[in-house]
A and B are shown apart, each in its own frame.
Chain A
C-alpha cells in the first residue's frame, strides 16, 4: 500500500518543503534587520517580473536542466554522480575546441557539432570513474569528486598554456561569429516582441529536447528499462541477464554527456570563449535539482526553473538592497537543505496525517466494528 497519494508525494511534499525554506529564510532576513516581505517581493519580481528577469531565470535553469538530468539518469542506475561539475567543465573544453577549430559559417552548423563535442568530452570524463566503478569497484562518489578537481586543474593548465589567447587573462580567443547562438531577444525580435536583454538562447530548447529524450530513454527503451532494473537491484539484473558493467558504463556515459552539454549554454551561448570558471557550481546544483525533481525529467525541469529563479532573484536582491551576497547564498542553501536533504522531515508527519485521514474514511464492504 502506498503511504501517500501520488499528488501529495509529487507536489505537496516539495511545495511544503519550499515554503518551510522560505519561512526560515524570512526569519534569517528579519534577524539581520531587513524586511523579509520586501526581500521576497524583490526576489520574485527580479526573477519573473520582467522579460529581462525571465531571461536570466531561464538561462540559469538551462544549465540546471542539463546537470539535473545528468544526476537523474545516473541515479536511476543507483549511481550517485557527484562529478557533474567536472564533466561540465571538461565538456566546455570540447565545446570550445569545436568552436575554435573551424571558422563556422552559421550557428545551425556549429550547434550540432558543438553538441557532439560537449557530449563526447563530458562522457569521456565520466567514462574513467565509470570504468573504475564497474571493473574495480572504486566508489563512484569518491572518484567523481576527485575528477572534479582534476578537470578544474587541467582546464587551468590549458588556459594558461596552449589555449591561452594573447593578453593577461587565462582564457581562449573569442569564438568565430558564426558560432554565436541566437538569443531570446534575437528570436523574439523576429516576431516583433521586445524581449529584454539576457543571455537566454536557443540552448533552452535543446535542454527541453534533452529532457524529453531522457524521458523516452528511461521509460520507453530497453536500455532505460535495464538501467532502472539495475538501479533497483543488482542481483535481479544479473538474474535477468543484464550486464552490470554495460549498464554502469552506459548510464555514466549518458550522464556525463548531459553534464557536458551544459557548456553549450554557458560557454557557447553566453561567454563565447572558454573561461577558467565556467560552470560556477551548476554541477552541484544539479544534484539538488535531481533530488527535488525526484529524478523525473518533468520534475527536473520544474526544479531547475525554481533554482534559476532563486539565482536570478538572489542577484536582484543583492543589487537592490543591503542584504549581503552571502545572505543570498544562505537562502539558496536553505532551499537545497529543505527540498533535498530534509525531504523526510515533512514526509513522515504528512504520511501520518494521511494515514489517520485514510482510517477515518469509510471502507466499503468492511464489517461494522
Chain B
C-alpha cells in the first residue's frame, strides 16, 4: 500500500485553557476524497489551519507522502503541495482572474511571462476538469461559483496535489454544488487528494470515500463512507441520537396574517433589490423563501422588520404598515406583534459585548416591565433572563456571560427565546440554523414548528434547501428580487427549486449549466 498523502500523528493545539485539538491522528490516502465532518467549534478549522501553516501545533507530527514535514507557514504548505480553498475567498476584487491566479507566485519583475504561462495552464485545466473561467474577467463581475473555481485554479497553478476545501458549498446553489463535485471527481481521477470540510451530512454521503468525524477537539471516528449512514454520522458528531427529520403535523392554515402587495426596495446605491414582491402568510403556516444569498431575501426581512424603507402595501392582521417615515421602525413593528430573528445574529440580533441579560431585552428594552421610572429595572431583566435561559436550555445558564462567549447555537437560542416568548402574531426568521450545531438545530426547528402549531404565521428565509424543504408548509423561490413561483414541498424537489433559484421557471425543459451560470453571474455582477 502506498504512503498516505497526509498523515497526522498526535496533533494537539490549545488556546489558553481551550483544547482545540486533542491528540488528533488521521491518514488521508492519495487519490481519495476525504471528508472531515463536525459541529462548529469541533476543531476542524484549527486542524486545517495547522496543516496549512497558520497555526503551529503544540505537539504532534505531520507526514506528507510519508515524509515528516514541518509546516511553519503557508509558503511551506504550498511547497509541500497543499492548496487551500477558504470559505471566504481571498481574491482581489478588481483584478482579473489571471492576475489573481499569479498573485504571490509571479516569476520575475515583469508579469507578462507568468501571465502567459498561467493562460496556457488555465486553458488546459479548464479542458481537463470542467473548470471553465474567462481568464480576463474581473473577479467582481463573477458569480460566487466562478470565484470558487478561481480559488481552485490558484491552488492548482501552485501545483497543489492535496486540496483542502473549507465548507465549499455554503454559498452555492444546488446545481453549482453539483458542478463543484464533478470538478472534484475529475481532480480525484487525476490522482489529486481532496480534503472536504463540511457540516452537511448529505455532501459527505454523496462525494467522499472516507469520512472522519470530529467532536470537541477529538477525532472520534474514521470510517469508509460506503459503510456508514447519515444517522450514524450525526450521532458520532453530537454524541447522542439526533432526529434529522423535522417531525410535524400537517399545517392548519387560518386567516391571512401577512399580506404583501408589490413590495419594492431600492438600496443606497440605487439598485432595486425587491422588484414587486407579492406574498401572503396565513396563521398556522410556515412560508419558506428559498433562494441563493443576495437575491433580495435579506432585504425582504429587513423591510418587514423595520430596518429599511420600501414602497408597496404590507398588511398585518388587516392593518397596513408604514413602509417609510418615523413609524416604519423596528419598534413599531414589534408593537404590531411582529417578532424578528435576524439573519445575522452577531451584527444584528445580539450585541456581542453585552451580557446575556442585556441581550434578552434587546429591541424590547422600552417594555414597562423592564423599566422603573427613568431607570431600567435590571433586576427584573435578570429574573426574566434566568427564566428564559432555563426554558430554552441556553448553556452555560449564566445571565452574566457576554454574548460572544456563547457558542453559535446558544447565541441563537437567546435570540429565539427573546423573540418567541413575546408570543408574536408573525415571526420573521432568517437563517435560523446558520452556524448552529446539529443538537441545537433540532431544538430550534421544534420551537419554530411549535409556534406554528400555536396558530402563528411564520416567514422563513434560508439558503439551506434542506431546511426550507423540511420546515415549510409552502415554498416561494426568490431570484433577482422577484418571486419565481410557489410550490408545495410535497410536489417539488431540490432539482426544480434549484433551477428556480437560478431564475429558470420552465423547469420541465433540460437546461445547460451555462444557462444557470449566466443567470447567476448576471445577478452577482449587479450585487458586486
A240 touches B363 (CB 8 A): yes
Is B376 within 8 A of A239, CB to CB?
no
Q: Is the CB of B342 within 8 A of A239?
A: yes
A233 at interface, CB cutoff 8 A: yes
Q: Is the CB of B354 within 8 A of A239?
A: no
A233 nearest in chain B by CB position: B347
A3 nearest CB neighbor, chain B only? B16
Residues of B contacting A226 in the complex (Cβ-Cβ under 8 angstroms):
365
Q: Are B306 and A225 in contact (CB under 8 A)?
A: no
Q: How far is the CA of A64 from the CA of B461 in the complex (A)?
A: 51
Q: Which residues of A contact B352 (CB under 8 A)?
A: 232-233
A369 to B17, CA, bound (A): 14
Contact of A239 among B14, B307, B374, B405 (CB under 8 A): B307
B514 within 8 A of A: no
- A361-B376 CB under 8 A given contacts A226-B365, A239-B348: no
Instruction: Flag if A240 contacts B347 (CB, 8 Å).
Output: no
Q: How far is the CA of A216 from the CA of B376 in the complex (A)?
A: 10
A220: interface (CB < 8 Å): yes
Does A355 lie at the interface of the complex (its beta carbon under 8 Å from any beta carbon of B)? Answer: yes
Q: Is A326 in contact with chain B by the CB < 8 A criterion?
A: no
Q: Which of A216, A225, A239, A243 is B358 in contact with, Cβ under 8 Å? A: A225
Contact across chains for B18 and A241 when beta carbons are under 8 A apart: no
Q: Which of A236, A241, A363 contacts B333 (CB 8 A)?
A: A241
Tell me which residues across on chain B come within 8 A of A2, comparing CB atoms: 405
Chain A positions 240-267 with a Cβ under 8 Å from a chain B Cβ: 240-243
Q: A1-B16, A232-B352 are in contact. Are A222 and B376 (CB under 8 A)?
A: yes
**Contact call A358/B362, Cβ cutoff below 8 A:** no
B317 within 8 A of partner (CB): no
Q: How large is the interface on A (under 10, 10 to 19, 20 to 34, 35 or more residues)?
A: 20 to 34
| Chain-A contact segment, one of B32-40, B241-249, B324-332 | B324-332
Distance in angstroms from A258 CB to nearest chain B CB is 19
Candidates B19, B332, B348, B365; contact of A235 at CB < 8 Å: B348
Q: Chain A nearest CB: distance from B46 CB in Å?
A: 14
Instruction: Flag whether B1 is at the interface (Cβ < 8 A).
Output: no
Q: Evaluate contact between B330 and A241: CB separation under 8 angstroms.
A: yes
- Chain B residues within 8 Å of A363, by CB: 17
| Docked pose: A225 CA to B363 CA in angstroms | 11
| Per-residue A-contact encoding for B327-371, CB less than 8 Å = 1, 0 else | 001111110000010101001111111100010011101100001
Instruction: Give Cα A238–Cα B309 distance, bound, in whole angstroms.
Output: 12
Q: Which residues of A contact B348 (CB under 8 A)?
A: 233, 235-236, 238-239
Q: A1-B16, A1-B18 are in contact. Are A235 and B344 (CB under 8 A)?
A: yes
Q: Assess A232 versus B354: contact at CB under 8 Å? Given A222-B366, A355-B16.
A: yes
Task: Note all chain A residues with C-beta closer than 8 A to B350.
Answer: 236
A240, B375: Cβ atoms closer than 8 Å: no
Quick check: is A348 within 8 A (CB to CB) of the other chain? no
Q: Do A358 and B16 touch across chains, with their CB atoms under 8 A apart?
A: yes
Q: A221 interface residue, CB < 8 Å from B? A: yes
Q: Is B378 an interface residue (CB 8 A)?
A: yes
Measured between C-beta atoms, what is the minimum distance from A220 to chain B in Å? 5
B305: interface (CB < 8 Å): yes
- State the CA gap A229–B349 with chains docked (Å): 11
Contacts of B358 in A (CB 8 A): 225
Q: What is the CA–CA distance of A236 and B347 in the complex, to the nearest angstrom?
A: 6
A136 within 8 A of partner (CB): no
Closest to B374 in A: A221
- CB contacts (< 8 Å) of B307 on chain A: these are 235, 238-239
What's the Cα separation between A205 and B378 when bound, in Å?
Answer: 28
Given contacts A222-B371, A226-B365, contact A232 B353 (CB under 8 A): yes
Q: Which of B22-38 contact A (CB under 8 A)?
A: 23
Tell whether, in the assembled complex, residue A236 and residue B349 are in contact, meaning their CB atoms are under 8 Å apart.
yes
For residue A243, which residue of chain B has the nearest CB? B329
Check A235 against B347 for contact (C-beta < 8 Å).
yes
Report the minimal beta-carbon distance from B289 to chain A, rounded to whole angstroms.
19
User: Please, which residue of chain B has its CB at the minimum distance from the CB of A363?
Assistant: B17
Which residues in chain A, 208-244, are within 8 Å of chain B measured between CB atoms?
216, 220-222, 225-226, 228-229, 232-233, 235-236, 238-243
Decide if B17 touches A239 in the complex (CB within 8 Å): no
Nearest CB of A to B382, in Å: 14
Write out the residue numbers on chain A whose beta carbons fall within 8 Å of the beta carbon of B362: 229, 236, 240
- The complex places the Cα of A1 from the Cα of B17 at a distance, in Å, of 9
Q: In the complex, what distance in Å separates the CA atom of A233 from the CA atom of B350?
A: 9
Instruction: Report B131 CB to chain A, min CB distance, Å.
Output: 37
- In the complex, the chain B residue whose C-beta lies closest to that of A224 is B376
Q: Give the nearest-CB partner of A2 in chain B.
A: B405
Do A241 and B363 contact each other (CB < 8 Å), given the known contacts A1-B405, A235-B307, A361-B17? Answer: yes
Inter-chain CA distance A114–B188, complex, in Å, is: 80
Contacts of B15 in A (CB 8 A): 1, 355
Q: How far is the CB of A361 from chain B (nearest CB, A)?
A: 7
CB distance from B150 to the nearest CB of A (A): 30
28 contacts between A and B (CB under 8 A): A1-B17, A1-B405, A220-B378, A221-B376, A222-B371, A225-B365, A229-B362, A232-B354, A233-B351, A233-B352, A235-B307, A235-B348, A236-B349, A236-B350, A238-B306, A238-B308, A238-B330, A238-B348, A239-B305, A239-B307, A239-B330, A239-B342, A240-B330, A240-B363, A241-B333, A241-B363, A355-B15, A366-B19
Other contacts beyond A229-B362, A239-B305, A359-B16: 16, CB < 8 A: A1-B17, A1-B18, A221-B375, A222-B365, A222-B366, A225-B361, A233-B352, A239-B340, A239-B342, A239-B363, A240-B331, A241-B329, A241-B331, A241-B334, A241-B363, A355-B15
Q: Which residues of A contact B (CB under 8 A)?
A: 1-3, 216, 220-222, 225-226, 228-229, 232-233, 235-236, 238-243, 355, 358-359, 361, 363, 366, 369
